[in-house]
A and B are shown apart, each in its own frame.
Chain A
Amino acid sequence: MKIFVTDQDGNQHELEAIEGWQVMEIIRDHGLPIKAECGGACCCATCHVYVDPDWANKIYLMREDEDDMLDETFDREENSRLSCQIIMSEELDGLKVTLADSAKP
């Protein structure tokens, strides 16, 4: 199982993903620049990613608390998500996301 992550400098990374892990945890575990200051509790917005349009419809919809937290970022787009709220599963094998500037440590 893999995910593809583009970092804030435009470099692409192919990461080994583990089922049941938050996408944030996978990105953090590989040492890419992600602040994730609340540790995956949907209480900050520092694991902000943009989801590749091809994948937008395959991820379940965000809850209200995620929507609220995303409002605290200044670089929110239509395809913005908090990567701690995306849980890795078979269906997401090959997921492509880009790290937002606001996720920089």
Chain B
Amino acid sequence: MTERYETDVIIIGAGPCGLFAVFELGLLDLKCHLVDILDKPGGQCAELYPEKPIYDIPALPIVSGQELTDRLMEQIAPFEPTFHFGQMAEKIQKLDNGKWELTTDIGTVLEAPVIVIAAGGGSFMPKKPPIPELESYEGESVFYAVRKMDAFRDHDLVIAGGGDSALDWCLNLQPIAKSVTLVHRRDDFRAAPDSVLKMRKLVEDGKMGLVIGNITGVDGDGTQVDALQVKTKEQGELELKCSRFLAFYGLTMKLGPVAEFGLNLHENLIPVDTEKFETSERGIFAIGDINHYPGKLKLILSGFHEAALMAQEAFRIIHPDKKLRFQYTTSSSDLQKKLGVAEGKAA
């Protein structure tokens, strides 16, 4: 089933810059839809370093990546943005009506006069182990994420990794799988201590397997996996029979389909002007870490500035006949009404 939406602005990337763009566009009465490959807002801040302190956000002497994300979500809530999580912006095309159409990898279609690329370092994609011929099994019997738990029911399952994803899925899938074996390169796990304890208990009770080693090879008919080769320190080479393999080796950022959008690129970055932060295509903007211009600094605060200037031009594109009036949130009752803080507002 294809979902189709029309809006004012499509934002690719729900990291801090994409989120703040919703605010600046919202003040100008422009509605936004955001697309992000992650299943949550915050981008790098939420995925790579949710707990690490950030010290260079103006007026916030110290804030964690997660807290910054939470505060931005609170700040943009009055503008009611629509999020399309767990989806990758796959292609764009210009429509006959002059608007842009964006299609995601699961078929959601968005139409808008303006697209803002706020994709940071690109899409987060799973790191894939360098196992020969593994690629032909991907999506058939080898996976890097669980979309439906039922796909693993009654299977002999090998799960690789030592972080929260690997451990959580061991615990969640163990009751429904025929067998579960966890493979990690050392007998020490980064996942939450509670999950590690639960996993150890299951191993102790003989309800799941644990192998310390590296997966080096795959056996099967090219789509259906039969076994994995594991190199261990203590037992040498092992063969692990299995019918499904789930690998959780973390995520890495890749520019991905944005490279195919037909925009000018400069070393995997998108060149923009410094007045409007518009790309080589009219109506497509790039803000935050993904853009490039002389003197560019990859700072969150630069992205916020870029979002504000971009929004002015986005307004002119969407409402060519309307005059843009610059207002301050401190004094404009019009803006305060939009933010839901106007005096006299019903409690």
Interface residues of A (CB under 8 A from B): 37-39, 41, 43-46, 68, 71-72, 74-76, 105
Contacts and interface: CB of A to CB of B under 8 A. Distances in A.
Given A38-B44, A38-B48, A44-B48, A72 B121 contact: no
Given A37-B121, A38-B44, A72 B249 contact: yes
A11 to B, nearest CB: 20
Contacts of B52: 41, 43
B129 A71 contact: no
- The majority secondary structure among interface residues of chain B is loop
Contacts of A37: 48, 121, 252-253
A-B pairs, top 10 by smallest CB distance, nearest first, are A72-B250, A68-B190, A43-B48, A43-B49, A38-B48, A74-B130, A41-B49, A37-B253, A41-B52, A37-B121
Contacts of B185: 71, 76
Contact of A71 (B190, B252, B268, B298): B190
A38 B252 contact: no
B16 interface: no
Nearest to B215: A74
Given A72-B249, A74-B130, A38 B162 contact: no
Contacts of A39: 298
Given A44-B48, A71-B162, A105-B268, 5 more contacts: A37-B252, A38-B44, A38-B48, A45-B250, A72-B250
A74 B121 contact: no
Contacts of A38: 44, 48-49
Contacts of B162: 68, 71
A45 B252 CA distance: 9
Contacts of A68: 162-163, 190
Interface of B: 44, 48-49, 52, 121, 127, 129-130, 162-163, 184-186, 190, 249-250, 252-253, 268, 298
Contacts of B130: 74-75
A38 B130 CA distance: 22
Contacts of B127: 72, 74
Contacts of B49: 38, 41, 43
Nearest to A75: B130
A75 to B, nearest CB: 8
B252 A74 contact: no
Q: Interface centre among A38, A72, A75, by most B CB within 10 Å? A: A72
Given A37-B121, A37-B252, A71 B186 contact: yes
Contacts of A76: 185
Nearest to B49: A43
Nearest to B122: A37
B84 to A, nearest CB: 24
22 contacts: A37-B121, A37-B252, A37-B253, A38-B48, A38-B49, A39-B298, A41-B52, A43-B48, A43-B49, A44-B48, A44-B250, A68-B162, A71-B162, A71-B184, A71-B185, A71-B186, A72-B127, A72-B249, A74-B127, A74-B129, A74-B130, A105-B268
A4 to B, nearest CB: 26
A75 B130 CA distance: 9
A71 B160 CA distance: 12
A74 B161 CA distance: 11
Nearest to B189: A68
B129 A44 contact: no
A71 B166 CA distance: 13
Contacts of B163: 68
Nearest to A70: B185
A75 B252 CA distance: 15
Contact of A44 (B190, B252, B298): B252
A46 to B, nearest CB: 7
A43 B298 CA distance: 17
A68 B189 CA distance: 8
A41 B121 CA distance: 15
B98 to A, nearest CB: 37
Contacts of A72: 127, 249-250
A38 B249 CA distance: 16
A41 B186 contact: no
Contacts of B44: 38
Nearest to A44: B48
